[in-house]
Amino acid sequence: MANVLVAYATRHGSTAEVADAITETLQQHGHTVTAAPAARFKDRVDEFDLIVLGGALYSGRWHSGAHRFLRRHRRELDGPAVAVFGMGPRRDVEEAWQTSRAQLDRALGKRPWLHPVAVTVFGGVDPPKKRERRDIRDYAAITAWAESLVD
């Protein structure tokens, strides 16, 4: 069984909720999983078999906490497999999905040394202060993606 780190960068908590779903899925499949906010995780990461790193996309940029995690652990990330997710569109239209994926790809392109084994974008959520709050997270897709990481 794999030893997995699920690190996430979140502002309002929706990315943490997705990280929790990924963590639960991996644990149900018998893996040892540590989940932690990316900004606070300072331990070595090269002891993990897989690192799942997630962050929300805000105004065309991937969460700064995810970038800091990659900078902080740059030398250790040569060994373990890395999978990445972004929390993207809040509108379920193809153009929004394509834009979010391009934003995540652009963010990862700043790290040419990083070669994720999987990259995806999940639907996002409007901030809590919005009167009408859209939430297009698809937990079946999130669970399926998490399962695919360790198959």
What pLDDT digit, counting tens, does each position of 44-81 carry?
999 999 999 999 997 778 999 999 999 999 999 988 99
Count structural domains, the chain: 1
Note down the domain range covering 146: 3-150
Q: pLDDT for 10-38, tens place per residue?
A: 988 899 999 999 999 999 999 999 999 99
DSSP 110-130: T-TT---SEEEEE--B--TT-
* 151: confidence class by pLDDT, cuts 50, 70, 90: confident
Q: Beta 50-58 vs 32-37: how paired, if at all?
A: unpaired
Q: Report pLDDT for 127.
A: 79
Q: Tell me which residue has tokens 């394509």.
A: 98
pTM for this prediction: 0.94
User: What's the pLDDT score for residue 8?
Assistant: 97
CATH number for the domain harbouring residue 65: 3.40.50.360
